[in-house]
Chain A
Amino acid sequence: MARFIVRRLLVAIPVLFGLSVILFLFLRLLPGGGPAEAILGQHATPQLVAQITATEGLDKPLYVQYLNYVGRLLHGDFGASFIDGREVAATFLIKFPATVELTIGALIFAVGLGIPLGRLAARHPNSWIDGIVTVISLFGISIPVFVLGYTLAFIFGVELHWLPTFGQLDPRLPINPVTHFAIIDAILAGHWYVIDAVAHLILPSIALGTIPLAVFTRITRASVIEVSNEDYVRTARAKGLTDRRVNDRHIMRNAWLPVTTVIGLETGALLAGAVLTETVFSWNGVGSWVVSSIQNHDYIVVQSLILIFATIFLTVNLIVDVGYAFLNPRIRYS
């Protein structure tokens, strides 16, 4: 197992190395006067040019600049926005919890509904139930996140006034941001404020979770049907085991394998997919930060965020792979 993990880690390193080189060169090769002027673009002032030249070491040879860059990264220094001067790492720690919260909300919705639906369809393959579930999941994959988001906001927010459609918490509530997880902060503040935090999370989670919901439904259905046709399931049934026991012990245990892999992969995709959901629901997370940074040409922030996201993505993939190998011994020994 340890060897497996090490081998997977060794694959991730060249990827991150390659990416850091590309991102590094990307900033240096921007068109524009000198390198500092190019990075700053419309923000260039003599003062900022001098500052960036100093912090990025732009007057030194390229390889020295690159080594400095990697050295700073390894110390957790991701640079600072030259627009508001804030450290990328510090802002990230404030905004990332909001994105994680949204991702978890979407996952709970998608897993909680998708797996039962997939099992239901698989129990009656090619029946009308299966047909309805298939059509629902195809619709779910096809509806663009923001169309669904605005529709949900319109129906449940604007027309029915059931749920909030803006931000993570009612700004009038006296809640101190301690952890920056809205739900945890609300619990810490007491007074059942947590209900407000959960209410804010519902619509964005449904909007973000609908595509994974469809994916989980389909993979669960396919996996359960495939396992149900295995010889050992037929044997179990022939032995006279109850339906329930066959389902729980023989089918689901094996059907879980591909489902968990897909859940893991979708988690990485969700973190990135939050960009649109956060924009629709004014969610103050990393996704909307990425969009505004790109819009503002705040390239140091963009460069660092891409690298951070890639690292998170590779880490999630690694956890998925290791988890899969843990669940499925056949992978470990091959």
Chain B
Amino acid sequence: MTLPIQSSVAAETGNPSIEPGPQEGVDVEVSLESLSQWQLALRRFLRHRMALVGLAVFSAIILIAIIGPIVAPYNPLDIPGARLEGGDPPSLQHLFGTDDAGRDVFTNVINGAHISLAVGLFSTLIAGIIGVIVGAIAGAAGGFTDNLLMRIVDVTFAVPLLFLILVAAVFFGQGSMIALILVFGLLQWGLIARLVRAQFLSLRETDFVEAARAVGVSNLRITFRHILPNALGPVIVVLTLLMASNIVLEAFVSFLNFGIAPTEATWGNALSNSQGAMEDGNWWWAFFPGMAIALTVISINFIGDGLHDALDPRARL
């Protein structure tokens, strides 16, 4: 009996909010051209020139990581000895020069790509999966569960990550790539969890969730169909940036000799070997692996910038 009255009241008072404001313009565009949110995001991403450059460079790096070891000019395990003490400078035989043991720096840079990318990608995936699950539970459950989970996250945040990683690397098998991936992933989900939870809290109050609830959609379905997909945009952006930072982190850890076994050709190990070489003027040992890391991270960050504009157009940073 009361229903018709309520709806008529809503029609009178609720009108202004139905009018498309400047922000709802995006939604209007959706209905007019009937593009999904993801299609719109893709369109925005393709308009982002820097992101496309980043994507092209990053694709090339992935290609190098896959086919590089096959086409590399030298065997990375070959230690022929350098002609000059302290390594040979770049030449036609050795494009990036050699280190003091005569190892070809170019070959090492190419061979290091797949380890850096694998550590970056898989550790980020682990952090992302745990973070989304924990964040979603905290955001959906609220109350005690939420409080407990967020205090655990607080503890992981209070300690400088690099310290924890170094300690963990000492404990859980120094020298193994899988151990490093697990350590990175298991220590970094807190950031994602916090973000997903914040998304849940703000999305829970939105009109479309309220509408879904009013129509009688179950809580489970609201969580998975309405909130989670909308929360994912910013999460993807942060995961991209996290992957870039994990690639640097792998290099940090190897650089400090806590990482992957020094016999493996990784970018961090190449830099670690080159400590002191710079001071002797043998810049090429450190320069090329360093540039490889920087180029990879820059290209990922450019992609992240584009994704940010594409997926999260209202909160531009």
**A residues adjacent to B (C-beta < 8 A):** 11, 14-16, 18-19, 22, 134-135, 138-139, 141-147, 150-151, 153-154, 157-159, 165, 218-219, 222, 271-273, 275-276, 279, 290-291, 294-295, 297, 302, 305-306, 309-310, 313-314
Q: B257 touching A144 by the CB < 8 A rule?
A: no
Residues of B within 8 A of A145 (CB): 252
A221's nearest neighbour on chain B, judged by CB, is B317
A-B residue pairs in contact (CB < 8 Å), sample of 15: A135-B50, A139-B294, A139-B298, A144-B248, A144-B290, A146-B271, A147-B271, A147-B294, A154-B283, A271-B160, A272-B160, A272-B163, A276-B252, A290-B163, A310-B159
Smallest distance from the beta carbon of A248 to chain B beta carbons, Å?
24
Please measure, in the bound complex, the distance between the C-alpha atom of A62 and the C-alpha atom of B170, giving whole angstroms: 25
Please measure, in the bound complex, the distance between the C-alpha atom of A275 and the C-alpha atom of B165, giving whole angstroms: 13
What is the total number of residues of chain B having a CB less than 8 Å from a CB of chain A?
42
Interface residues of B in 148-165 (CB under 8 A from A): 151-152, 154-155, 158-164
Residues of B within 8 A of A151 (CB): 278, 287, 290
B277's nearest neighbour on chain A, judged by CB, is A150
Given known contacts A19-B158, A306-B159, A158 and B278 CB-to-CB distance under 8 angstroms? yes
Smallest distance from the beta carbon of A96 to chain B beta carbons, Å?
14
Residues of A within 8 A of B290 (CB): 144, 146-147, 150-151
Residues of B within 8 A of A306 (CB): 159, 163-164, 167
Given known contacts A151-B290, A154-B283, A142 and B301 CB-to-CB distance under 8 angstroms? yes
Residues of A within 8 A of B251 (CB): 144, 146
Q: A297 touching B154 by the CB < 8 A rule?
A: no
**B residues adjacent to A (C-beta < 8 A):** 50, 151-152, 154-155, 158-164, 166-167, 170, 244, 248, 251-252, 255-258, 271, 274, 278-279, 281, 283, 286-287, 290-291, 293-294, 297-298, 301-302, 305, 316-317
Which one of B252, B301, B316 lies within 8 Å of A222 (CB-CB)?
A: B316
Which one of B158, B294, B302 lies within 8 Å of A144 (CB-CB)?
A: B294
Q: A291 touching B305 by the CB < 8 A rule?
A: no
Q: A151-B290, A279-B256, A309-B159 are in contact. List 6 more A-B contacts (CB 8 A).
A: A144-B252, A144-B294, A150-B274, A294-B166, A294-B258, A309-B160
Residues of B within 8 A of A146 (CB): 251-252, 255, 271, 290
Residues of B within 8 A of A294 (CB): 163, 166-167, 170, 258
Please measure, in the bound complex, the distance between the C-alpha atom of A154 and the C-alpha atom of B277, giving whole angstroms: 10
Q: A138 touching B163 by the CB < 8 A rule?
A: no
Residues of A within 8 A of B163 (CB): 272, 275, 290, 294, 302, 305-306, 309
A307's nearest neighbour on chain B, judged by CB, is B159
Which one of A222, A273, A290, A295 lies within 8 Å of B257 (CB-CB)?
A: A295
Please measure, in the bound complex, the distance between the C-alpha atom of A150 and the C-alpha atom of B293, giving whole angstroms: 14
Residues of A within 8 A of B301 (CB): 138, 141-142
Smallest distance from the beta carbon of A161 to chain B beta carbons, Å?
12
Which one of B152, B278, B291 lies within 8 Å of A154 (CB-CB)?
A: B278
Residues of A within 8 A of B255 (CB): 146, 276
Most buried by B among A147, A295, A302: A147
Question: Main secondary structure on chain A at its contact with chain B?
Answer: helix
B297's nearest neighbour on chain A, judged by CB, is A142
Smallest distance from the beta carbon of B187 to chain A beta carbons, Å?
13
Please measure, in the bound complex, the distance between the C-alpha atom of A219 and the C-alpha atom of B316, giving whole angstroms: 10
Q: B317 touching A219 by the CB < 8 A rule?
A: yes
Please measure, in the bound complex, the distance between the C-alpha atom of A135 and the C-alpha atom of B287, giving whole angstroms: 21
Q: A22 touching B155 by the CB < 8 A rule?
A: yes
Smallest distance from the beta carbon of B250 to chain A beta carbons, Å?
10
Smallest distance from the beta carbon of A99 to chain B beta carbons, Å?
12
Residues of B within 8 A of A295 (CB): 257-258
Residues of B within 8 A of A309 (CB): 159-160, 163
Please measure, in the bound complex, the distance between the C-alpha atom of A313 and the C-alpha atom of B287, giving whole angstroms: 34
Q: A142 touching B298 by the CB < 8 A rule?
A: yes
Smallest distance from the beta carbon of A220 to chain B beta carbons, Å?
11
Residues of A within 8 A of B158 (CB): 15-16, 19, 310, 313-314
Which one of A15, A143, A153, A279 lies within 8 Å of B154 (CB-CB)?
A: A15
Please measure, in the bound complex, the distance between the C-alpha atom of A19 and the C-alpha atom of B158, giving whole angstroms: 9
Q: B297 touching A144 by the CB < 8 A rule?
A: yes
Residues of B within 8 A of A279 (CB): 256
Please measure, in the bound complex, the distance between the C-alpha atom of A276 and the C-alpha atom of B255, giving whole angstroms: 9
B257's nearest neighbour on chain A, judged by CB, is A295
Please measure, in the bound complex, the distance between the C-alpha atom of A271 and the C-alpha atom of B163, giving whole angstroms: 12
Please measure, in the bound complex, the distance between the C-alpha atom of A237 and the C-alpha atom of B146, giving whole angstroms: 46
A218's nearest neighbour on chain B, judged by CB, is B317
Q: A147 touching B286 by the CB < 8 A rule?
A: yes
Residues of B within 8 A of A16 (CB): 158
Q: B293 touching A147 by the CB < 8 A rule?
A: yes
Please measure, in the bound complex, the distance between the C-alpha atom of A292 and the C-alpha atom of B6, giving whole angstroms: 70
B292's nearest neighbour on chain A, judged by CB, is A147
Residues of B within 8 A of A14 (CB): 151
A305's nearest neighbour on chain B, judged by CB, is B163
